[in-house]
Amino acid sequence: EPIKLVVIVGSLRKASINRKLATALERMLPDGIQASRAGIGELPLYNQEYDADFPAPATAFKAAIEAADALLFVTPEYNHSIPGVLKNAIDFASRPAGRSSFGGKLAAIAGASPGRTASALSQQHLRNVLAAMGVLTMPTPEALVQFSEGLIDDEGRINDERTRTALQKFIDSYVQWLQVQLRR
């Protein structure tokens, strides 16, 4: 049985550097990990009235989380926190009350930004939110990518040796941590 990993990108734009980072990380996964993406772009804005009648994209997003053994969030930093679209998706999957899709899930967080702090503050905020959802996140190593033009291409190829080594270490550590947590 492969470990089912669901990757969630916290940016909706096509040219997203975090989408490129997600692709690069997926390429580094060893055999035995089955990765897929869960999209958040089709979700409406969460409104508590939806708890009585979930929209189809939200039901699909919840199902994707529930089917996963583990999650990988790859998120931008917006104003020192996570983008609203990512928080919106997490809020949907946490509902209806008592039927959160997150309980007991395992996760790792990665992120890229052109700034020197490379999404560190956004990642810390996300850790807080996930802790409230009962999601256990790998504490270290962190994947903080300061993105410069061309660092990662659309196919996920990394054009810098140090970045490649650090990200491979992040992925290897995550897989090892998952195997311990899942006893596999």
Stretch that binds ligand FNR, among 22-30, 74-82, 87-95, 127-135 (CB under 6 A): 74-82
Q: Using the rule CB under 6 A, is 88 a contact of ligand FNR?
A: no
- Footprint of ligand FNR on residues 103-122 (CB under 6 A)? 113-115, 117
CA distance 60 to 79: 29
The one among 26, 71, 72, 76 contacting ligand FNR by CB under 6 A: 76
Q: Using the rule CB under 6 A, is 78 a contact of ligand FNR?
A: yes
Strand-pairing partners, residue 71, are 6, 107
Angstrom CA distances, 33 to 28, 36, 60, 95, 182, stand at 10, 10, 21, 28, 13
Closest to ligand FNR by CB, 16 vs 173, is 16
The one among 5, 6, 17, 35 contacting ligand FNR by CB under 6 A: 17
Phi, psi of 47, deg, nearest 5: -145, 135
Q: Using the rule CB under 6 A, is 16 a contact of ligand FNR?
A: yes
Angstrom CA distances, 131 to 105, 125, 158, stand at 10, 10, 31
Q: Using the rule CB under 6 A, is 123 a contact of ligand FNR?
A: no
CA-nearest of 179, 170, 171 to 69 is 179
Stretch that binds ligand FNR, among 8-16, 33-41, 46-54, 164-172 (CB under 6 A): 8-16
Site string for ligand FNR, 20-59 (x = CB under 6 A): ----------------------------------------
Q: Decide if 136 contacts 106 (C-beta within 8 A).
A: yes
Cis previous bond, 76, omega within 30:
no
Q: Which residues bind ligand FNR (CB under 6 A)?
A: 11, 13, 16-18, 76-80, 113-115, 117
